[in-house]
Amino acid sequence: MKIGRQDQHGSSISTSNEDTILVRGRDLVRELVGTLSFTEHFWLLVTGELPSAAQRRVLDATLVAIAEHGLVPSVQAARMTLAAAPEALQGAVAAGLLGCGSVVLGSAEAAGAFLAQIQARAGAGGDLESAVETLVREYRATRRAIPGYGHPLHRGADPRARRLLELAAEAGTAARHVEIAQLVERRLPGLLGRPLPLNVSGAIPAVLLDAGYPLAGLKGVPLLARTAGLVAHLVEEQQRAIGFVMSRAAAQAIDYDGPAPADFEPSEDA
Amino acid sequence: MKIGRQDQHGSSISTSNEDTILVRGRDLVRELVGTLSFTEHFWLLVTGELPSAAQRRVLDATLVAIAEHGLVPSVQAARMTLAAAPEALQGAVAAGLLGCGSVVLGSAEAAGAFLAQIQARAGAGGDLESAVETLVREYRATRRAIPGYGHPLHRGADPRARRLLELAAEAGTAARHVEIAQLVERRLPGLLGRPLPLNVSGAIPAVLLDAGYPLAGLKGVPLLARTAGLVAHLVEEQQRAIGFVMSRAAAQAIDYDGPAPADFEPSEDA
Amino acid sequence: MKIGRQDQHGSSISTSNEDTILVRGRDLVRELVGTLSFTEHFWLLVTGELPSAAQRRVLDATLVAIAEHGLVPSVQAARMTLAAAPEALQGAVAAGLLGCGSVVLGSAEAAGAFLAQIQARAGAGGDLESAVETLVREYRATRRAIPGYGHPLHRGADPRARRLLELAAEAGTAARHVEIAQLVERRLPGLLGRPLPLNVSGAIPAVLLDAGYPLAGLKGVPLLARTAGLVAHLVEEQQRAIGFVMSRAAAQAIDYDGPAPADFEPSEDA
Amino acid sequence: MKIGRQDQHGSSISTSNEDTILVRGRDLVRELVGTLSFTEHFWLLVTGELPSAAQRRVLDATLVAIAEHGLVPSVQAARMTLAAAPEALQGAVAAGLLGCGSVVLGSAEAAGAFLAQIQARAGAGGDLESAVETLVREYRATRRAIPGYGHPLHRGADPRARRLLELAAEAGTAARHVEIAQLVERRLPGLLGRPLPLNVSGAIPAVLLDAGYPLAGLKGVPLLARTAGLVAHLVEEQQRAIGFVMSRAAAQAIDYDGPAPADFEPSEDA
């Protein structure tokens, strides 16, 4: 059946014949394999253009920064899934990526939209200070978290965020979005009554948007990066399995508080 | 409850404190971000070691080669999923990766195991010819496809496979597994009665195993690479949606052949 | 690390020891298996209470109504995924469920929230008419679709919606939410300038909320129901595979419109 | 491109026009909604036939038996995923189902194949005893677990398995597969040197195959049943979140044992 009003029937990413595969108009085998790094190829795939050296450097830095942070929930979900279903590594990676949501990891996209909105409201040469203030107040009024600020472990400052801004300065790409990200960080203590330092999910859109990477592709960055970390964890899980050990500890941290017959004694391991 | 016999409770990939994130024993922020390319970081994550320039070059080439091949089934599944659930890009990527299975894309892993088995059987300095012959006959006897050979579109030769072998020679990493992959290709016409050229999923393990990349991590290569292609398609889907257009064409290609009342007329669009 | 402010550590759904499994306080083996239908058990799991006969009847009707509607996008995604990864039926079901999103299938939840909001605004004995009018205007002003109304195939009326309302009347559960759902349908032509009949995703929350099923569990109904349909399709896919046939037709419906060398001729099958 | 040798282009599950939806040849709205229970509809979807009362009773019992068993790994993965991505309930259900693999839950399918193989080898009126002995020895020789026997918590006997066999006797459907399942249980202590009681994943195929449910649809039973349990847990997670609490406890159960600088002190919460 015809769902929705889609009337496009074109795609401009890739086509092929028996001898040649075109990707973004370039001959994959003759021009790209062996020439481009994977990061350059990702930029080409998403934007249709080859990145400059500075763009590649910034994108590499964000992917490296966000790929791995230990046994976070999505890694645990992936390792438990592989322990239960070792026949399908792709299922374990998928289970891990499903946890790249609006609360964890996926907030890079929300933070990018936040920064872009400030930029749009201030306009060219406009008043960033008041645009920041207005938007933070709107988020507060609707009880939305300020995306890209604060971290449960790195409370004083997220060292990855610091490094990414530094790198963007070195690469010469830092511009308006980095400026906004830093301005918000300076203003938040006054607006919220407590400091809330820029985190890696706030720094990623700041440096990438300044480098010319598109807002619509922002969520792809943590998704791609985290796939690398998940693969590493799943290779380790195949060799030194901890999926069920983690699951047992997790279950023991929770108490059953529903109804039970008077004489029921739960197993320590239930 | 305690499932299975897992008695490990260690992991050696990452740990952190408020100031420092260690990845494979290195300081993520001070040593890796801005220094490593994403491909080098992926190698470090999976193996615990930094790659040489030749290793990085070979891994980059495989990731670029397998990232994108047009509107293949996994891309279609991802784009249809995003059209139906635009609120969760991570769900659409996951739906696409779930199609990296034993038949499509995931065959790089099976091909790696096939090549490694020939290598193991022939032993050091052993008789590759007869190891190839024996194993191909075993696969045939149990009606298993020879993994890594043949392609539905690239029937004469998969140009990506050719290029990867060439690149491994240039990088100086080509060794025993490449030799085996080529030997199998030469022997298949005689053993099967028809040519079946090496495809990209056969070339990837050949060049990666020779470069020192671990067998256990092979499936991670198409999974990581394909995530890049999926992200590009999903960015395009957000801008020029074709998910439901493809779905409609797919449904129209299938006829309902179950029971129906005599007077029932199916809709053209059902 | 400690993410978020979660400070609960209880769950009231199930516990067990070596001899006994409690589900919602009842002995699974001695009280439930062989006694409850699966639909009654689902109601118990979600709400903690056993359903009345009328509640069970309404829930059964909604699950039957939404379980299957042919080769819709989520079914196609699941069948293509199984064709590519036959080793993991669970992955194919997961790929299908990922398409139960805000646009397709998942709209039952949004429709439930819409009906509940009208009910809340009108208050006990309040003015439903003006609550409907205000909310529809708000949705229109923010360009949001009215959830639960309109269907791409069943343009005059969705026969499943009609039947569910009829059934709720027969079961004696129809009340305020059904009344609101019908009122909205009557008012939409005036408010939107065209008729937009109640669809199955609008009727499901209407009859379930009236029957006492919780708003928070609404999205679980299409998810559970569709799992049944997906399993049936995947059993058929194992026996008569059409996943790649659909995929080929879908790809042929799309034209490559990106750049290409002047002498490039795409394959008919690319 | 044309992948594989699929040349079917038919499906017999459902078709529709603007007024009528046919499911397995029956009018969904006029014949099925309000008439069938969801369990009967699932049987119809999978087999194309309406179940008898006894068949329905057995299928209901298996679905109720396997729907819920507390905070098992798949439930944890689902709850952690929802905590991280609350915008996509379907993603959390999918993450949970991805853990229905060959080790956990999915073993019903492997157990069904095991029982069916014994049945096939013994033939009509053949020697079950020696068929059992031979197959168990083959599994042992290739170090495969005997699917459907043993449980980490219910060591003496899985009470769900007992109840399902009892129910099949009451329903009058118990036949050859139940006989085989019990015979295997009696013979395992002698063959393995220790008792290994029939578990729920062994009892489910025994009673379902005897009732006429198809082997190809066996894995759909735990998948459908577990979706019900997952929905219940996700409704609870929305109201009393424990996803990150479980994740924190799981992470604390694992020690980092990779390299670290001499002066590095891991955070307690890392």
Query: Mean pLDDT, to the nearest integer, of C20-29?
Result: 97
Looking at residue A269, its pLDDT comes to: 58
Q: Which amino acid is at A119?
A: Q
Here the tokens at position B171 are 């990088």
Looking at residue A236, its pLDDT comes to: 98
**Interval D180-220: pLDDT, tens:** 999 999 999 999 999 999 999 999 999 999 999 999 999 99
Contact across the interface for B85 and D90, Cβ inside 8 Å? yes
**Which residues in chain D have Cβ-Cβ distances shorter than 8 Å to B255?**
9-11
Q: Which amino acid is at A229?
A: G
CA–CA distances in Å: residue B18 to residues A181, B22, D16, D265: 21, 11, 59, 10
Contact across the interface for C251 and B71, Cβ inside 8 Å? yes
Q: Report the neighbours of B using a cutoff of 3 or more CB pairs below 8 angstroms.
A: A, C, D
Looking at residue D91, its pLDDT comes to: 98
Looking at residue A155, its pLDDT comes to: 78
Q: Which residues of chain B have pLDDT under 70?
A: 1-5, 268-270
**Interval A90-138: pLDDT, tens:** 999 999 999 999 888 888 999 999 999 999 999 877 799 999 999 999 9
Partnered with residue C149 across adjacent β-strands are C198
**Smallest Cα–Cα separation from B74: which of C95, D100, A43?**
C95
Query: Mean pLDDT, to the nearest integer, of A11-35?
Result: 96
Residue whose structure tokens are 């399995």: A241
Query: Mean pLDDT, to the nearest integer, of C107-115?
Result: 94
Looking at residue D2, its pLDDT comes to: 64
> How close A79 gets to chain B, by Cα (Å)?
12
Looking at residue A268, its pLDDT comes to: 63
Query: Mean pLDDT, to the nearest integer, of D229-239?
Result: 97
- Spatial separation of the C-alpha atoms in residues C228 and D221, rounded to whole Å: 9
Position D148 confidence tier, pLDDT thresholds 50, 70, 90: very high
Residue C26 DSSP SS3? strand
Query: Mean pLDDT, to the nearest integer, of C225-230?
Result: 98
Looking at residue B5, its pLDDT comes to: 65
- Spatial separation of the C-alpha atoms in residues C134 and C191, rounded to whole Å: 10
Q: Say if residue C2's pLDDT is above 80.
A: no
Query: Which of B17, B93, B200, B213 to mutate against chain A (most A CBs within 10 Å)?
Result: B93
**Interval A214-249: pLDDT, tens:** 999 999 999 999 999 999 999 999 999 999 999 999
Q: Which residues contact B7 (CB under 8 A, 6 or more apart)?
A: A245
Here the tokens at position D209 are 């195959």
> How close B74 gets to chain C, by Cα (Å)?
7
Contact across the interface for D94 and A94, Cβ inside 8 Å? yes
Position D269 confidence tier, pLDDT thresholds 50, 70, 90: low
Looking at residue A5, its pLDDT comes to: 66
Q: Say if residue C4's pLDDT is above 70.
A: no
- In B25-114, where do the E strands start and end? 26-27
Percent of chain C with pLDDT over 90: 85
Q: For the whole model, what pTM was predicted? A: 0.96
**Interval C166-212: pLDDT, tens:** 999 999 999 999 999 999 999 999 999 999 999 999 999 999 999 99
Position C105 confidence tier, pLDDT thresholds 50, 70, 90: confident
Looking at residue A55, its pLDDT comes to: 98
Within 10 angstroms of residue C66's Cβ, the number of other Cβ atoms is 26
> How close C81 gets to chain B, by Cα (Å)?
5
Looking at residue B154, its pLDDT comes to: 79
Q: Say if residue C104's pLDDT is above 90.
A: no
- Spatial separation of the C-alpha atoms in residues D237 and D241, rounded to whole Å: 4
Here the tokens at position D50 are 């309406």
- Spatial separation of the C-alpha atoms in residues B138 and B118, rounded to whole Å: 12
Nearest to C10 among A1, A94, A257 (CB): A257
**Interval D76-117: pLDDT, tens:** 999 999 999 999 999 999 999 999 998 888 789 999 999 999
Helix (H) or strand (E) holding A256: strand A255-256
Contact across the interface for D84 and A95, Cβ inside 8 Å? no
DSSP A141-210: HTT---TTB--SS--S--HHHHHHHHHHHHHT---HHHHHHHHHHHHHHHHHSS---B-HHHHHHHHHHH
Looking at residue A76, its pLDDT comes to: 98
Contact across the interface for D71 and A106, Cβ inside 8 Å? no
Q: Say if residue D256's pLDDT is above 70.
A: yes
